[in-house]
């Protein structure tokens, strides 16, 4: 098949996406597909030989993730201050492909905008959730409301559209400390702060508001952290996440050696059954399809699992969780990519 892997974009998770995309593109090329890795923001000039010549056989692709999020202002400057989020010839190339592998993270790649655009252009065979599922999963306020409606435990929370004294008062009175501050629709722990003391709140709010105009303040649930993936309706083995220092932030997620990850996780059969059932219910509640991943805390207070958030387009980097979970289920990385492509190709 001809497969275009869409990556990059203009979000704080740009580098994560490029790393995921490079790994995916290489794996699919090794599986015998003709592949193009395409930065959705930069686009590409089509050569005289035509779009078909952009799809490579036996291609090898690479990208690296730094310790910090990318400088998006520099990306814009390097691209002539382009306003459009979808670059030159991107949609035409997607139309020419048999499958579009969406390897984007954050912003329009995960909030449903890209999926809606592909739908409107008659491009149906793309990986992961449709625009509705992507939107519901990306907005943490909406997804948590749907979790509550479906009977899935999730931490108490409020949303804030401004900082200042009123925000501090609401957090103290309605959420309490310790708490977690996070942008409403970012992933990869971008802009997230864990607050143990009230004097840390102002800086945390300022950090989160740098990324979005609406943020979420959530009660901190203390306990062990897990992630559980879904692939084509199959719930994968849970993985336990143990950062060597701090919490599971951007650096600990993407730099090798910063976090211990145990898969399958050391849980009782009853605990596995519980978190697997909650994962399947969350997948259904958010109208997701193809594959996804959910983050949980096993509360040390009451012994139940609390769903923190959903990821409609899980990372596929060398240190990402879903590939490790799939491997524990007997699905090696190339087969994982192939399965995701097959699920997309079977869309009506």
Pick from 43, 31, 116, 100: which is nearest to 290 by CA?
100
Angle at 339 between CA 337 and CA 341, to 5 degrees: 70
Gyration radius (Cα) of the chain, Å: 20
126, 254, 306, 333: the catalytic one is 254
9, 20, 315, 320: the catalytic one is 315
143, 185, 188, 289: the catalytic one is 188
How far out from the chain centre does Cα 154 lie? 19
Nearest-angstrom CA–CA distance, 128 and 102:
7
Active site residue 295: yes
Active site residue 133: no
Nearest-angstrom CA–CA distance, 258 and 242:
9
What DSSP state is assigned to residue 126? Answer: B
Active site residue 315: yes
The separation between the first and the last C-alpha atoms of the chain, rounded to the nearest angstrom, is 18
Active site residue 188: yes
Residue 240, classified by CB atoms within 10 Å of its CB into exposed (0-12), middle (13-18) or buried (19+), is middle
111, 289, 311, 320: the catalytic one is 311
43, 130, 291, 293: the catalytic one is 293
Nearest-angstrom CA–CA distance, 119 and 159:
31
9, 11, 13, 218: the catalytic one is 13
Active site residue 309: yes
Active site residue 254: yes
Active site residues: 13, 188, 254, 293, 295, 309, 311, 315
């Amino acid at each position: 098949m001809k497969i275009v892997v869409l990556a990059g974009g203009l979000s704080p998770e740009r580098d994560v996406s490029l790393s995921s995309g490079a790994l995916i593109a290489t794996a699919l090329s090794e599986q015998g597909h003709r592949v193009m890795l395409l930065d959705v923001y930069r686009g590409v000039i089509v050569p005289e030989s035509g779009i078909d010549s952009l799809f490579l056989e036996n291609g090898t692709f690479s990208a690296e993730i730094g310790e910090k999020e990318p400088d998006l202002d520099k990306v814009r400057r390097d691209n002539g201050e382009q306003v459009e989020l979808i670059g030159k010839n991107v949609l035409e190339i997607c139309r020419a492909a048999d499958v579009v592998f969406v390897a984007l993270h954050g912003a329009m790649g995960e909030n449903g905008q890209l999926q809606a655009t592909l739908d409107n252009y008659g491009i149906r065979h793309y990986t992961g959730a449709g625009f509705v599922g992507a939107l519901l999963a990306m907005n943490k306020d909406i997804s948590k409301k749907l979790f509550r409606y479906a009977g899935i435990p999730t931490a108490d929370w409020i949303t804030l559209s401004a900082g200042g004294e009123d925000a501090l008062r609401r957090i103290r009175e309605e959420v309490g400390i310790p708490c977690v501050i996070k942008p409403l629709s970012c992933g990869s722990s971008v802009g997230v702060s864990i607050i143990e003391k009230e004097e840390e709140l102002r800086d945390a709010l300022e950090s989160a508001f740098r990324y979005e105009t609406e943020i979420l303040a959530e009660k901190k649930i203390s306990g062990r952290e897990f992630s559980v993936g879904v692939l084509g309706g199959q719930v994968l083995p849970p993985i336990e996440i143990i950062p060597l220092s701090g919490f599971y932030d951007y650096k600990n997620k993407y730099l090798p050696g910063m976090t211990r990850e145990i898969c399958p996780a050391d849980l009782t059969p009853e605990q596995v059954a519980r978190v697997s059932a909650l994962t399947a219910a969350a997948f259904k509640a958010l109208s997701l399809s193809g594959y996804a991943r959910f983050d949980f805390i096993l509360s040390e207070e009451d012994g139940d699992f609390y769903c923190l958030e959903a990821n409609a387009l899980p990372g596929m980097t060398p240190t990402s969780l879903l590939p490790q979970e799939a491997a524990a289920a007997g699905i090696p990385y190339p087969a994982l990519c192939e399965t995701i492509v097959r699920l997309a190709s079977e869309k009506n």
